Structure 1
Amino acid sequence: MLYRVIDAQDLPGLVAAFMERHEVVAPVRRGSKHVFDVISSPDEIDLDYTTTVASPKKYLLPPRETLMAYNAETNRIREYEAEITPRVIFGAHPCDINAINRLDQVFLESPYADPYYAARRKATLVVGLSCMPDDTCFCHLWDSDEARFGYDLFLQSLGDRYLVSISSVEAANILEASCDVREATDADRIDFRHATRRRQDAFNQDIPDIQEVAMLMDAFHSDPYWAELGGRCLSCTACSAVCPTCYCFDIEDVLAPDGKTGVRDRIWDSCTAPQFAEVAGGHNFRPDGRNRVRHRMYHKLNGFLAAHDRMLCVGCGRCVTACKANINPIEVLNFFKAKGSDDALDAEGDPAGTQAKEA
């Protein structure tokens, strides 16, 4: 990894250089909140934010995208070729970069890579930015408070300057051409360590650090707690809408008014929606909030880990804010704390014997 230092005053020039050949998406203020949006000037960017309302996921996996067009009369299909825009996601925090890495595992590293996601990902540069957590952040518990890969540049703020981690040639060339770049000194590295320590000390200590969460999800799979938690669920799907790693989708055929032609779209879906697990004939494999909420948490904290060696949740805390019924991973951690994580495994027995799960 290559490290360089630039002055904070050079940042607008870096953004402007990216804008010459790319669409730049960055955090901007909307009222009292921040969102990722396309900018037309570096002056629109507001990097002084903790968490945006939603992640930049939609620029890689749109809420709705057309996969193909078809003609019902001739029974012919035509693959839909979307125009892929060269893009820079600027100012993404480590949790969002780690979320993109999770999406890469699903859509790029599976046996059948998704060509639509792959085309957008290939055309996208990611510029990361260091951050300070607020009370709802728990990314440090899932090892998502640092971005070790998945970015082209990463900017660590050192006050009047940035320590820049460089991991792609294209981004390095733009950095060199637009900024006064210099090598990091011992003083820069010392300030970096201090900044890292301040971030680590700033996390909410009231959020319990529970070990072996995946095993506990197995051990307490049948606990009455899930009925209580699921009973609160409003099925609004806000949690999935703001989550940077939710990737479930539905396929919808949209017929034109003439009844002859149409398109097939992929649209975001949510496992907390009542109809998500409903199949032909009307049977619903997860008919109530208990089963739906438990399934969502189990996938985030156990199932994805078993398949990909990391939690699907990155601890960004967006669902903590979005859910009006107070259903989120922090609540699950508090439940495990109340049970006593060490004693719980002894009381419940070996979780390896609880692998048979309800659908």
Structure 2
Amino acid sequence: MLYRIIDAGDVPLLIRAFMDSYELVAPVECDQGHIFDTIDDPNDVVLDYSTTIASPKKYFLPPREILFKFDVAQNDVDAYELDVKPRVLFGVHPCDMNAIEKLDSVFLEGPYPDPYYRARREATLIVGVGCTPSQSCFCHRMDADEAPAGYDLFLQDLGDRFWVSISSVAAAEVLEESTTLREATDEDRAAFAAATRRRNEAFSSDIPFVQDVAMLMDTYHSDPFWAELGSRCLNCTACASVCPTCMCFDIVDELAFDGKTGERVREWDCCTNPQFATVAGGHNFRPSERERVRHRMYHKLNGFKEKHGSMLCVGCGRCVDACKTGINPIEVLKFFDEKTRGAHDAQQGKGATNGE
């Protein structure tokens, strides 16, 4: 890993240099906040944003994509040609970079990598940027507040300059050609440490630290808490729409009007969708909101970790803002905190009684 310093005024030059060879996607301001969008002017890029409304997941796993086309009359299938452009995702927060790493573990690892996801992923460079958490952020509780890997460049704002972490040759070449690099000094390193400290201190103190979350998901699997939490669910699936790690999808065949040709399409789906767990014959394995909400939280905080070694939630806080009835992992953490504190207090009281 290489570390260099560039002047703040060099950032637009870096963006412009990437735009010469890549499609550049970066956070821009919109009516509701900030979104990732394709950039035509470097001045449109906003790097000091809190959290975008939706994640950059759609650039690897689109909400809707054609997998292939078929001809029923000819009993023939035509492979669908992906039009994949070299792309740079610029200004990605650590939580979103961690989310992309988790998507990679699902779609790229194992015996059958997803060719559609892989084509987009391999054509994409990622430039990360440090951030200041909002009140909804809890990435520090999900071990996703830092991104030790998963980027080509990482920028940390130090005021009039940026600390740059370099981890790929392709990005390093563009950086060197477009900016004036210099070695980091002791003053720069101290400024970087101070920026890290300010970020850590900015997290909300109302979000509890809970140990062994995955184990607690099993311990309180039948608790009435899930019925209360599920009773609020509106089945709107807004949580999955904004989540950077939700990866469930449905496959549908769409026939043309002639009834002879069609397309096989992959579309986003969500486990809180009432029809998600419905199978042939009409049986629904999770018919109630209680079961669906619990399953979603279980997968985020337990099931994924059992298979891949880390929780699926990255604490970006988007679902906190998107859900109008307050269903989110923070509520689960607070519930576990209350339960474990109560158990600890009861044990302490029992010990004191026995001591008397």
TM-score by length of 2: 0.96
Q: How does 1:48-67 map to 2 (within 5 A)?
A: 48-67=48-67
Q: How does 1:1-359 map to 2 (within 5 A)?
A: 1-340=1-340, 343=343
TM-superposed CA distance for 1:111, in Å, is 2.2
Q: Could you tell me how far apart the structure 2 residues matched to 1:108 and 1:343 are?
A: 42
- CA deviations 1:210-253 (Å, max 9, x no partner) are 11100000000011110110111000000000000000000011
* Contact kept? 1:142, 1:315, Cα under 8 Å: yes
TM-superposed CA distance for 1:71, in Å, is 0.3
Report the identity percentage.
Answer: 64
- CA deviations 1:169-227 (Å, max 9, x no partner) are 00000000000011111111111111111111110000011111000000000111101
Q: Could you tell me how far apart the structure 2 residues matched to 1:335 and 1:47 are?
A: 35
* Contact kept? 1:211, 1:341, Cα under 8 Å: no
Q: Could you tell me how far apart the structure 1 residues matched to 2:147 and 2:184 are?
A: 19
Say what the alpha-carbon RMSD is for the aligned residues. 1.3
Q: Could you tell me how far apart the structure 2 residues matched to 1:198 and 1:88 are?
A: 28
* Contact kept? 1:94, 1:129, Cα under 8 Å: yes
Where in structure 2 are there 5+ consecutive unaligned residues? 348-356
Q: Could you tell me how far apart the structure 1 residues matched to 2:79 and 2:287 are?
A: 36
* Contact kept? 1:127, 1:152, Cα under 8 Å: yes
TM-superposed CA distance for 1:342, in Å, is 7.7
Q: Could you tell me how far apart the structure 2 residues matched to 1:129 and 1:110 are?
A: 30
Aligned residue identity for 2:66: T
Aligned residue identity for 1:255: L
Q: Could you tell me how far apart the structure 1 residues matched to 2:131 and 2:230 are?
A: 33
Residues 231-240 or 30-39, more deviating = 30-39
Q: Could you tell me how far apart the structure 1 residues matched to 2:341 and 2:23 are?
A: 47
Q: Could you tell me how far apart the structure 1 residues matched to 2:285 and 2:211 are?
A: 31
TM-superposed CA distance for 1:274, in Å, is 0.2
Q: Could you tell me how far apart the structure 2 residues matched to 1:236 and 1:156 are?
A: 37
- CA deviations 1:87-135 (Å, max 9, x no partner) are 0000000000000000000000122110100000000000000000011
Q: Could you tell me how far apart the structure 2 residues matched to 1:48 and 1:128 are?
A: 12
TM-superposed CA distance for 1:254, in Å, is 0.8
Q: Could you tell me how far apart the structure 2 residues matched to 1:2 and 1:310 are?
A: 27
Q: State how many pairs are aligned.
A: 347
TM-score by length of 1: 0.95
- CA deviations 1:333-358 (Å, max 9, x no partner) are 111122125827x99xxxxxxxxxxx
* Contact kept? 1:210, 1:341, Cα under 8 Å: no
Q: Could you tell me how far apart the structure 2 residues matched to 1:32 and 1:158 are?
A: 28
* Contact kept? 1:94, 1:146, Cα under 8 Å: yes
Runs of 4+ with deviation above 6 angstroms:
none
Q: Could you tell me how far apart the structure 1 residues matched to 2:111 and 2:134 are?
A: 38
TM-superposed CA distance for 1:32, in Å, is 4.2
- CA deviations 1:246-267 (Å, max 9, x no partner) are 0000001111111110000000
Aligned residue identity for 2:124: T
Pick closer, same or farther for the CA change 1:338–1:165 going to 2, 3 Å: same
Task: Give the aligned partner of residue 353 of structure 2.
Answer: none
Instruction: Name the SS of the counterpart of 1:20 in structure 2.
Output: helix
Instruction: Name the SS of the counterpart of 1:324 in structure 2.
Output: coil
Q: Could you tell me how far apart the structure 2 residues matched to 1:197 and 1:47 are?
A: 19
Where in structure 1 are there 5+ consecutive unaligned residues? 348-359
